[in-house]
Structure formats: structure tokens, C-alpha cells
Amino acid sequence: MLVLGIESSCDETAAAVVKDGRKVLSNIISSQIDIHTLYGGVVPEIASRKHIERINYVIEEALSKAGTTLSEIDVISVTYGPGLVGALLVGVNAAKAIAYAAKKPLVGVHHITGHIAANYIEHENLKPPFLCLVVSGGHTHLVQVDGYNEFKIIGRTHDDAAGEAFDKVARAIGLGYPGGPKIDKLAKEGNPYAIEFPRAKIDGHEFDFSFSGLKSAVLNYLNTCEMKNIEINTADIAASFQQAVIDVLVSRALRAANQLSNGQIAVAGGVAANSSLRASMQESCNKNGIKLYYPSPVYCTDNAAMIGVQGYYIYMAGERSGLDLNAVPNLAFGL
Ligand code: KG4
Ligand code: ZN
């Protein structure tokens, strides 16, 4: 069974061909990062235009790299939310046009479930139930994955997403967009315990997160240094901020896994590419006898292979989308 996955929810135009739900035959990603870097973040209007320019080439390349043609594809799967509405519409309309013209079934995929499904690509033994820590630019969730299409949110952020905090702090210390990978790299040269930044807890919500206080603490620290004419060490700030985020993510995930008697945790989303988070999760999981899964970095950040994988499981469950499928920018998720 061949699934063509299409993803255009933010600043990556992507298409992939996935065989039997788990084997990636091609994974083409056309990134717009260079353009958005000029503006310090994603400009929605530019993102939509670039998706339109690139989507057809990206799909053609995905088919040709996979050594297949549209006629051999069994299912078209596409991200229909959440994300930037203009950006989503490009992928959704391309998928609908192909499904209609080639008479193929269409399935709409929730972007976050795609991130979770990225874990199936390289871990053939991974099967639900498992706990998933989803950490992306727009979401920070602890999700109990009870089945391939059954998700229960047990923890969530009350304000900023983890990736958003990385991007904002990176901007404040002059690293530019996208912040996550740049902080990851710079933090290796800094001391993670040089500056004590807060680790927020939320009363009565033991699995929830909050990162806006941490972001403000970094900004306050920078202001104080400026006022007192103290020279700042950006590597120490990056390392100390990153450590604060990691401590909170790891402790919540481990507490949830222990309480819910989950023997396995997966990590997903762009921030799951963070080298220190991966190392820290691995160390804690080893200590607690929990099996840890994470995707290769290319499957952590936005890609269409993960949409092909989740599309396969949605299709196998008998679900189909009609040609009235629409982009839903704030698409809800889980229970
Ligand atoms: O999953 P993703 O590609 O897009 C969304 O669905 O949001 O995640 C993008 C986010 C950005 O905030 C980016 O800064 C962050 O993931 N990110 C990282 C790393 N690579 C990407 N954060 C920390 N360390 C990284 N290595
Ligand atoms: Zn994403």
C-alpha cells in the first residue's frame, strides 16, 4: 500500500511516499527558512505564496524519488490543521485536486498526530499504548496514545509552547530564527547551571507546563545586565535556559509515565531534535526502566513522511475525507 503524504502547515513544503505505513520511500522537504529568517519569523503571506510555487515540484519529486507514479499510489493524505490557514490551504487543495483527478481516496491528518506517528518510521516494534511528549513550535502536550487513532491529552502548556520559548529567547540574545537549533548548538559551549532560571509548576495540574515565566526571566536577566553594564555570556544564557526547559519536560514526562504505568515514552515535534533533551530523556528513562523512542531529527521537524504514516493508519481504520475537506487553522486535538 502506497500513501502520498503532503504537508504545508507552516514554512516547509513537503511531500513523501510511504509504503505499508512504516517504510519511507521518499521524503522531500522544501524549506522556506532562508526567506523567513530575513524577517525574524514566519510571515504567513510569504509562506502561502512559496507553498504555491513549490508544491507541484515537491510532489513530483517525491513520486519520482520513490520510483513510482501517481497511478500506483493508493491513498492521498494531507495535513488539514492546525497551522497557518493560507499555508494549509495549498496542501489541502493540491491533495483534493490529485484525489479527484486520479480517483484516489483522501484522508485529512491532524498535524500533531503526524508528529507522533513519526516515531513509527524507524521503530518497527513501537505500538500503542505509549506516552508521547509532543514538543513543537506551536504545541507542548503530554499525550497518552491508546491506539493509532486514539489520543488522550494528559498535560499541556498553559501559555507558550516549548519551541516558541526557544525561538523567543534566541531572538532576544541575537541568534535569529529559527531559535531551537541555534540555542542547541550554542548551549554546548555554555554552563547549564550558570544562571538560575525558574522551573514553573502549576498547582493542581501536575502534568502541565508553563514557559512564559521562563521567557520573561531571561528577558529580565538581559535587561538587568544592560542596566548594570554587566557583560552577558550568550552561551551560558542559552545553556541555562535550555536546561530549565529540559528539566521541566523530562520531570513531567517521567512522572506521567511512572504514574500511568507506561513502560514506553516517545518524543515528537521539532524540539525533540534537541540533542540535550534527547540525552537527558535517555538518562532518566534508563534510570526508571522505561523504553525511550525518538525519531531522527529530519522526522522531528515538519515533514510529509509522518503525514503519510498517520494517513495510512487513518485509512486502515476506514476513515475517509470528502472533497469538502477544508483547512482548519485551530483544529482541536485529543480528548
Ligand atoms: O514541529 P516543528 O517543525 O513545527 C511545528 O509544528 O511547530 O517545530 C518547530 C520548532 C521551532 O520552534 C524550532 O525552534 C524548534 O522546533 N526546534 C528545536 C530544535 N530544532 C527545531 N528546538 C530545540 N532544539 C532543536 N534542535
Ligand atoms: Zn510541526
Give the model confidence (pLDDT) of 104-118 as tens digits: 999 999 999 999 999
Ligand 2 centre to CA of 180 (Å) is 13
Over pLDDT 90: what percentage of the chain? 94
Residues 135 and 256 occupy one common structural domain = yes
Give the number of the atom of ligand 1 that is nearest the alpha carbon of residue 166: 14
Does residue 98 form part of some domain? yes
As for ligand 1, residues whose beta carbon falls within 6 Å of it are 10, 115, 136-138, 163, 166-167, 178-181, 184, 269-271, 273-274, 301-302
- How far apart are the C-alpha atoms of 188 and 28, rounded to whole Å? 30
Ligand 1 centre to CA of 37 (Å) is 14
Residue in 310, 303, 307, 309 with CA at minimum distance from that of residue 28: 303
Residues 136 and 276 occupy one common structural domain = yes
Give the model confidence (pLDDT) of 270-300 as tens digits: 999 999 999 999 999 999 999 999 999 999 9
The grid cell for 251 is 520531570
Does residue 323 form part of some domain? no
Q: Is the pLDDT of residue 78 over 60?
A: yes
List the domain range (segments joined by +) for residue 192. Answer: 128-295
Residues 104 and 146 occupy one common structural domain = no
Residues 134 and 152 occupy one common structural domain = yes
Does residue 85 form part of some domain? yes
Residue 41: what pLDDT?
A: 87
Beta strands in the chain (DSSP E): 2-7, 12-19, 23-31, 75-81, 106-110, 130-135, 140-147, 150-156, 264-268, 291-293
Residue 333: what pLDDT?
A: 85
Does residue 325 form part of some domain? no
Give the model confidence (pLDDT) of 240-265 as tens digits: 999 999 999 999 999 999 998 779 99
Residue 335: what pLDDT?
A: 55
Residues 37 and 148 occupy one common structural domain = no
C-beta of residue 299 within 8 angstroms of C-beta of residue 306: yes
C-beta of residue 30 within 8 angstroms of C-beta of residue 13: yes
Q: What is the mean pLDDT of residues 9-27?
A: 98
Q: Is the pLDDT of residue 33 over 70?
A: yes
Residues 49 and 171 occupy one common structural domain = no
Does residue 69 form part of some domain? yes
Residues 100 and 159 occupy one common structural domain = no
- The answer to whether the peptide bond before residue 329 is cis (omega within 30 degrees of 0) is no
Residues 251 and 238 occupy one common structural domain = yes
Residues 289 and 144 occupy one common structural domain = yes
Residues 223 and 100 occupy one common structural domain = no
Give the model confidence (pLDDT) of 162-194 as tens digits: 999 999 999 999 998 889 999 999 999 999 999
Ligand 2 centre to CA of 136 (Å) is 6
Instruction: Tell me the CA distances in angstroms from 50 to 13, 31, 37, 45, 58, one per residue in order.
Output: 8, 10, 14, 9, 12
Does residue 322 form part of some domain? no
Does residue 326 form part of some domain? no
> CATH no. for residue 38?
3.30.420.40
* Residue whose CB lies within 8 A of the most ligand 1 atoms, among 33, 119, 136, for a mutation test: 136
Which ligand neighbours the alpha carbon of 42 most closely? 1
Tell the residue nearest (CA) to atom 14 of ligand 1. 180
Does residue 335 form part of some domain? no
Q: How many domains does the chain have?
A: 2
Residues 108 and 157 occupy one common structural domain = no
Give the model confidence (pLDDT) of 206-234 as tens digits: 999 999 999 999 999 999 999 999 999 99
Residues 291 and 305 occupy one common structural domain = no
